[in-house]
Amino acid sequence: QALPFMLIAFMLFPRVSGPLWGLPQDAHSGLSGLSERMAPGSLNDLILSGAIAFRAKFEGEIPDKSQRYWRGPVFNDYDGKNWTATRTGQSYQQATQPMQEAPAIEARGTLFRYVTTVEPHNQRWLLALDLPVALPKDSVLAPTLEALTRERIRSRSRFSFASSVDFLVNRNENEGQLKLARTLPPGLNPRTRSLATEWKDKFKSPQMISNAALLHFRQEPFRYTLQPPLLGQQAVDDFLFVTRSGFCEHYASAYVFLMRAAGIPARVVAGYQGGEINPVDGYLTVRQSDAHAWSEIWIADRGWIRVDPTAAVAPSRIESGIEAALPASDP
């Protein structure tokens, strides 16, 4: 007798997001987006999703596709498998301390002004075009150069920015940041450390060591794929000398490990790269499938410099997008 009433209630009663006994933020636990932790394969689910991450509307000129790096979490801590970001809450509090110096940015060339409409992702990063020089209200540029908002983004939100894609930043970096960007867990990946030491002895400048690493990726039979073999305990050694197959996070992680082993401050940056312009309304749409990871190194008198090791292996990923770079056998 209750069955008809149950069916009527099921069809007509409004749905509630999340469990009735939970907190409001629990309703967003299934939101997709970048995480505070990155490991080999962690971006695969995002890459297979066509969901919109955010949209951007530029006032005038739109940067070239190869310049569209949208900065998310920065990973400094490495335990041999996982890269972990500085907790965004702490980064926000640290950046807003009265004695905290703001990042020193020397913007050059065109200044791009735009408004983003960000889908809820339950994190604080704003996914600004790298690198923002003007931020929206109640946001801050963290010491690791992420644009962060005070509250987690739990609803669709709009933000206004001005960014430069040609810049010098933190040419006189805090020594604490540099120390953090040189740290490696002891005893791991001896073959990678040996290769880095060889380059350090052979080449005298950080830029030459970086070029040697990129040339290694370019000349050796590395493969860009969403379906790489599993890695063992010596993950970077396995990737560089055995499997040589991986996705953007594999290349960024291996490159940063090599640089740190050579004594060069380096870190991994995750975010999105690219985006498609709608010819009707002029909006640039960035999807979860545009998720990407790249690297940064710090060089005296030049500051933090973006290095994208994926471009050495699969340049079409940066120039034409993910679909042009993956082999036909990948999903």
Show which residues are catalytic. 248, 292, 308
* Residue 21 to residue 10: CA distance in whole angstroms: 19
Beta strand pairing call for 245-246 and 223-224: parallel
Burial environment of residue 232 by CB neighbours within 10 A (0 to 12, 13 to 18, 19 or more): exposed
Closest CA to 286 of 119, 151, 123: 119
* Residue 105 to residue 126: CA distance in whole angstroms: 18
* Residue 269 to residue 291: CA distance in whole angstroms: 11
* Residue 35 to residue 227: CA distance in whole angstroms: 20
* Sequence-ordered list of residues with C-beta below 8 angstroms from that of 204, at least 6 positions apart, any chain: none
Name residue 163's beta-bridge partners: 112, 132
